[in-house]
Amino acid sequence: MTEETATASPAGGSGPNASEPSHGGLQPRGKWANKMEFIFSMAGEIIGLGNVWRFPYLCYRNGGGVFFIPYFVFLLFCGIPVFFLETALGQYTSEGGVTAWRKICPMFAGVGIASQVIVAYLNIYYIVVLAWAIFYLYNSFKSPLPWSTCDNSWNTELCHSRSSVFANPQLFQPGSNWSFLNNFTSPDYVDNATYSEGATFMNGRSPEEEFWLHRVLRMSSDLSLGKLNWDLAVCLLLAWIICYFCIFKGIKLTGKVVYFTATFPYLMLFILFIRGVTLPGAGEGLRYYLYPNLKKILEPRVWHDAGTQVFFSFAVCQGVLTALGSYNKYNNNCYRDCVALCCLNSATSIFAGFVVFSVLGFMAQDMGVSMEDVVSSGPGLVFLAYPRALSLLPGSSFWAVLFFVMILFLGLDSQFVCVESMATALTDLFPHHLRRPGRRELLVLVIAVVCFLLGLPLITEGGIVLFQLIDYYGASGISLLFIACFETIVISWVYGADRFYDNIEDMIGYPPFPVLKYCWLFITPLICGITLLYELADSTRLLVYGYEIGLNRSILGSFLVITPLICIPAFILFSLFKNPLNMTTPSSDLRQARPHKPILTLCKRVIFKAQVQPNRQHAEENKENLMIGENSMV
């Protein structure tokens, strides 16, 4: 046995043959039953609502097919490197999003804490979208769809509806009576009706917008919180109940649930795609989606949008990837898995664009308006534009049910993986208290109850303001870019890029693509830093339905941004006072394949020498002294 092989043997919990025996009543840390559970869990997390309601709109707004250029630049040099870094870190350390960083470099445990603060934001506000989806799904079983007419109790005299030429051609014959569609009549309604930004007709509102504003949100006139919408509270409670029973038993149950929740949306997307591309006007919609505008490539905003989309879509800097990777076996080929998952995510985003714009193209043609007037992003697409397009189809209730079931499952697996990430992080932080029989179920229940209660203000009459604040500032580009810079710098310059490469090679059996090392060292932090500066210099103010956020709410937004970021310097100072001599020393139980090799080299020059862990160094010195003593005796 060579010296290198001897020193590479597992010490503690890291290694291919490492086991975690149950002692003192503690349960062993679980592992995925097979690779597919890991793949489906990761796919469920990274493939979500952003693929459907954000990416297609960004393509349209930022030059169509030209947007793919900055998108893939960020994907190759930022998205994949950080995605792989976090996943490999979890697999190597077998720890959650906080303790993994503490093991790698104690002074930067705050990076993991910052990620968990962002996950807490996501757990509170993201599930509100699922509550809205459940509310729409319930109403989708009604015929006609309640958001397609103006004769409901919540409609005002400004409501204007319009029937579909495609679904109801008989109404467009000479002499047809349209009065039943509106709260007031106009002799030249059909000829003069126009559809403008905000889904308004003439000087009124579409029934979809009135349903969204007056039935779902029930917004107060001054955007104050007001009363709680109890029907939405029931939907939110139902969403949390579903989420809880998907994950309360840990990855043994989660790994089985994701088989369905991660694949079912693809079936729905495919069905909607087939229906969309066969509609009249679909070709025009796809042209707007993909038509390249080469002038856009020179605009900084296009590159900024591409970067933030990659970071949001791939769920980096949230600790989730580290948590999911930590349940892998030590020798799992996470490198190949990560590349495949990144390709799948990007392909899903592009495919979702075909689904969305084929239907929006039909909507524009059927209503006789331009594509600019029907294209929207975020909740406006899912709860205004797309429901209107579906209401224009024959059998509209059937298509609405399919669409909102898809939205529900797209969001559900992302949500419960985020909850799983937080539960994993807390369990690994306090294993002696939380890794006992029955504690896991109680922990997830506490997380669900607390996040449910904190989410209730978001479904009040002015809750949409809080929702937009958390969405805009909580999981903001500033926070994610800042954390990404720290993660790459810590791994490459503090822990050592060469040492981390050796760890990865020890796990998967071969070194990954060499460019990754230079991405972690230079390219990724440089690109993230430039994008971060642009984000900080951007003077765009958050608007909620035309109202600019006031000073008090802007202060709240700043607090949401600062809270996770302050954790990083705070824990550096804490480490400085607690243990100043070992602030950058990795945990001694981490498996090191080549402990005497320099931790960082550039152009064959040693930048940082080997950092032999104390216990290993003493063991080897004792071994050498023993050998000297034996030789002297001979």
Phi-psi region of 608 (alpha: psi -120 to 50; beta: other; left: phi over 0): beta
Segment 480-510, tens digit of pLDDT: 999 999 999 999 999 999 999 999 999 999 9
Average pLDDT over residues 512-517: 94
Amino acid type, 609: K
Q: For the chain, where do the domains classified as CATH 1.20.1740 start and end? A: 3-16+35-144+222-582
Segment 2-34, tens digit of pLDDT: 333 333 434 334 554 444 555 566 788 889 989
H or E segment to which residue 543 belongs: strand 543-544
Q: How far apart are the first and last CA of the chain?
A: 23
The pLDDT value recorded for residue 628 is: 43
The pLDDT value recorded for residue 551 is: 62
The pLDDT value recorded for residue 394 is: 86
From the CB of residue 190, how many other CB atoms can be counted at a distance below 10 Å? Answer: 14
Average pLDDT over residues 535-540: 76
Question: 542 in helix, strand or coil?
Answer: coil
Per-residue tokens: 37: 């559970």
Segment 446-455, tens digit of pLDDT: 999 999 999 9
The pLDDT value recorded for residue 335 is: 97
User: What sign results for the dihedral spanned by CA atoms 220, 225, 229, 232?
Assistant: positive
Instruction: Please name the residues in contact with 479: beta carbons below 8 A apart, sequence gap of 6 or more.
Output: 114, 118, 317, 561, 564, 565
Segment 539-587, tens digit of pLDDT: 666 666 656 666 667 788 889 999 999 999 999 999 888 888 888 999 9
> Using an 8 Å Cβ cutoff, are 372 and 549 in contact?
no
Listing DSSP states for 583-603 in one string gives SSPPPTTS--S-TTS-SEEET
Its pTM stands at: 0.87
**Residue owning tokens 């075909």:** 354
Peptide linkage before 614 cis (omega within 30 of 0):
no
Per-residue tokens: 605: 């020059």
Listing DSSP states for 21-67 in one string gives ---TTPPPPP--SSHHHHHHHHHHHHSSHHHHHTHHHHHHHTTGGGG
> Using an 8 Å Cβ cutoff, are 406 and 269 in contact?
yes
**What CATH class has 3-16+35-144+222-582?**
mainly alpha
Question: 460 in helix, strand or coil?
Answer: strand
Segment 201-244, tens digit of pLDDT: 444 678 888 899 889 998 877 777 888 999 999 999 999 999 99
Per-residue tokens: 5: 């092989």
Segment 578-613, tens digit of pLDDT: 888 888 999 999 999 899 999 999 988 999 998 876
The pLDDT value recorded for residue 547 is: 60
Average pLDDT over residues 376-380: 73
Q: Which candidate, 524, 422, 607, places its Cα nearest to that of 82?
A: 524
Q: Which candidate, 48, 144, 53, places its Cα nearest to that of 386?
A: 53
Per-residue tokens: 205: 């509102």
The pLDDT value recorded for residue 29 is: 86
Average pLDDT over residues 350-354: 93
Instruction: Please name the residues in contact with 481: beta carbons below 8 A apart, sequence gap of 6 or more.
Output: 307, 311, 528, 529, 531, 532, 535
